[in-house]
Structure 1
Amino acid sequence: MRLGSALWIALAGFGAAVPFFGSTYLMGVVFQVAMWIALAQSWSMLSATTGYLSLGHAVFYGVGAYVCVLLTGIIPFEFAILAAAGSAALFAALIGLPVLRVRGPYFVILTYGLSELVRHVVMRIESALGSFGRMIFDVPAQEVLLWWMVGLAVLATLGAYAIRHSRFGAGLAAIREDEVAAQTIGVPVTRLKLLAFIASAAIPGAVGGLALLRTSYFEPAQAFDPVISFTIVTMALVGGTDSVRGPILGAMGFALLSELLWSTLPQLYMIVLGLTLIVFVLFVPRGLSGLVGRIGGAR
């Protein structure tokens, strides 16, 4: 356990130190890896602990990006990022009770449909305003954005760990195993699910704001892209949902593999990624985290 903690601390330190010795390209790669770690960990706060498989994290990412683009230049970017996270959490609080009333495949379809609904609403609003894309000027330096993103990845990891190893997490695990039985013995099911839903929304909102500042361009179809949700779920499944290290391993492996394939096999990029996911689902059902655990146990 101490060795694992030291490795994660060293990894976070490496990410924060990249601007001092790395190239712009390496900074971009680290930014992407940290971004997907934060998103995968935020997804695990809800879906891995309660069993409610969400395909709607793109909506929190997009809400954060939209709020950030509206506030950038009006208030300091630090407050814009906090407002993006708060807006995504508030949105989750408003829709949480009706959305969390359904379970299983209905919850999956509902979260995906909600994400598409908000995407088209924002597109209509922007179209009515005569804006089909917003450019952002005077954004923070790339190294500042990188440090913020690495900090978000660390914060999301610590949050996921705290939830899993707390009474709150034990209640969420009881919901995952048998929600009716948990409610029967006095677990506050509705309150716990809503709190987990809100917690899992705040990080994507902040991530969406930082990603927007890095690209300096907002386009609704891109910010609310459903591929974001599918990618988050894929990384979490490849890494494994049984432990906090799973989303880290999945995000790192998937992001680095994507970067490698995109630069070497651009025509076969999505085919190879799809085959990789199939192999993991069929032959490594517990993901990279389970594989590492088995290797460590065997040694």
Structure 2
Amino acid sequence: MIRAHGLPLAAILAGAAALMVFGLGSGSYWTIVALNLAMWIALTQSWSLFSGTTGYISLGHVVAYGIGAYVVAFSFKIVPLWLSIPLAGVAAGLFALMVALPVLRVRGPYFVILTFGLAELVKYILLNVETGLGKSSRLLFGAPKPDTLLWIMVGLAVAATVALYAVHRSRFGRGLDAIREDETAAETIGIPVVRVKVLAYAASAVIPGMVGGVMALRSTYFEVLQVFNPTISFTIVTIAIIGGAGDARGPILGALFLVGLSEILQNASPQIYLILLGLCLIGCVLFLPTGLVGLLHRKGGAR
């Protein structure tokens, strides 16, 4: 059985089942809330597959999301849905594989800036392509209902979580951990650093590509500036920080916290909820530097 820091795979499946029951049995509003929750879990788990294990903090995860959304919007009604969503993941993964070598030549803050710039570059390239095609946006009539999309998104969230758990327990994951601790030393002891980083970077883009495709169907409207919104990348990093990026449970806890807090504050104080949310996030960074997972570890140690 796959485990990560004591949490079994059965707990993941039970959580997915609970999310499905909650989302499908509580009305359309809560179906959308459950869909968004599953989306952020899938995105953050896939981000952690590379950034959480290697220490390379990426602000370009929205590239995979946007490419996936574009593939699904472009192929909508041309190829069946069961094919277009996997194609979105493949396209995002292939793009990440193509740019991995030049992108991964830099480290630290330079890598953060480069990934953010890459996201902006791809956004404006696709914007020019769409303008050349005479398309400022695309309407997706006849998209599946939110209930159907929730099934797909929960499946992607489970797949991302299981993949991260499996990587943590594998030799490949130990190689990524060694790269995070000391990349030069890892290469000295025989770890193929370049190959491991490239594979992890490409793998981390596959599920976000499929997530972007699903969310394009959810909005029934594709617009380049919308799907390449840098807020998506910033939110992923925020969830990872809140939950704890070094543990596969972190993205789940972080997403639950952020989505739940956003809904509560938005309903209670819609005029100032973003300010209140920002203050809560600052408090988490100051008082929970290791995230909610770190808090669980401290509680467990105290017991």
TM over 0.5: yes
Q: Does 1:224 align with 2:262?
A: no
Flag as ranges the 4+ runs of structure 1 deviating above 6 A.
none
Which 10-residue stretch deviates more, 231-240 or 20-29? 20-29
Q: Does 1:51 align with 2:55?
A: yes
Shift of 1:73: 0.2
Q: Does 1:248 align with 2:252?
A: yes
Q: Does 1:106 align with 2:118?
A: no
Q: Does 1:21 align with 2:25?
A: yes
Give 1:284-295 correspondences, 5 Å limit: 284-295=288-299
Shift of 1:271: 1.6
Q: Does 1:76 align with 2:71?
A: no
Question: Counterpart in 1 of 2:34?
Answer: 30
Shift of 1:6: 4.6
Which 10-residue stretch deviates more, 123-132 or 241-250? 123-132
Which 10-residue stretch deviates more, 265-274 or 147-156? 265-274
Counterpart of 1:25, as a letter, is Y
Q: In structure 2, the residue corresponding to 1:233 is in which secondary structure? A: helix
- Rounded to whole Å, the distance in 2 between the matches of 1:177 and 1:124 is 41
- Rounded to whole Å, the distance in 2 between the matches of 1:2 and 1:243 is 11
- Rounded to whole Å, the distance in 2 between the matches of 1:19 and 1:260 is 17
Question: Counterpart in 1 of 2:243?
Answer: 239
State the Cα deviation string for residues 188-222 of structure 1 (Å, max 9, x = none). 00000001001110011000000000110001001
Which 10-residue stretch deviates more, 15-24 or 196-205? 15-24
Shift of 1:15: 1.9
Question: Counterpart in 2 of 1:274?
Answer: 278
- Rounded to whole Å, the distance in 2 between the matches of 1:216 and 1:298 is 49
Counterpart of 2:184, as a letter, is V
Give 1:1-299 correspondences, 5 Å limit: 5-18=9-22, 20-299=24-303
Which 10-residue stretch deviates more, 86-95 or 138-147? 138-147
- Rounded to whole Å, the distance in 2 between the matches of 1:62 and 1:201 is 11
Call closer, same or farther: CA 1:283–1:295 in 2, change over 3 Å: same
Q: Which runs of 5+ in 2 are unaligned?
A: none
- Rounded to whole Å, the distance in 2 between the matches of 1:109 and 1:2 is 36
Q: Is the 8 A contact 2:23 2:35 kept in 1?
A: no
Counterpart of 1:55, as a letter, is L
Counterpart of 1:148, as a letter, is I
- Rounded to whole Å, the distance in 2 between the matches of 1:24 and 1:75 is 28
Percent of residue pairs identical: 54
- Rounded to whole Å, the distance in 2 between the matches of 1:30 and 1:142 is 10
State the Cα deviation string for residues 211-255 of structure 1 (Å, max 9, x = none). 000110001001000000000000000000121100110011111
Shift of 1:129: 2.0
Q: In structure 2, the residue corresponding to 1:34 is in which secondary structure? A: helix
- Rounded to whole Å, the distance in 2 between the matches of 1:293 and 1:19 is 30
Shift of 1:5: 4.8
Q: Is the 8 A contact 2:59 2:234 kept in 1?
A: yes
Q: In structure 2, the residue corresponding to 1:54 is in which secondary structure? A: coil
State the Cα deviation string for residues 82-103 of structure 1 (Å, max 9, x = none). 0000000000010001000100
Which 10-residue stretch deviates more, 136-145 or 239-248? 136-145
Call closer, same or farther: CA 1:264–1:111 in 2, change over 3 Å: same
Root mean square deviation, CA, Å: 1.4
Counterpart of 2:129, as a letter, is I
TM-score when normalising by structure 2: 0.95
Counterpart of 1:236, as a letter, is A
Which 10-residue stretch deviates more, 189-198 or 20-29? 20-29
- Rounded to whole Å, the distance in 1 between the matches of 2:180 and 2:192 is 13
Counterpart of 1:198, as a letter, is A
Between Structure 1 and Structure 2, how many residues are aligned? 299
TM-score when normalising by structure 1: 0.96
Shift of 1:10: 2.1
- Rounded to whole Å, the distance in 2 between the matches of 1:283 and 1:4 is 28
Counterpart of 2:82, as a letter, is E
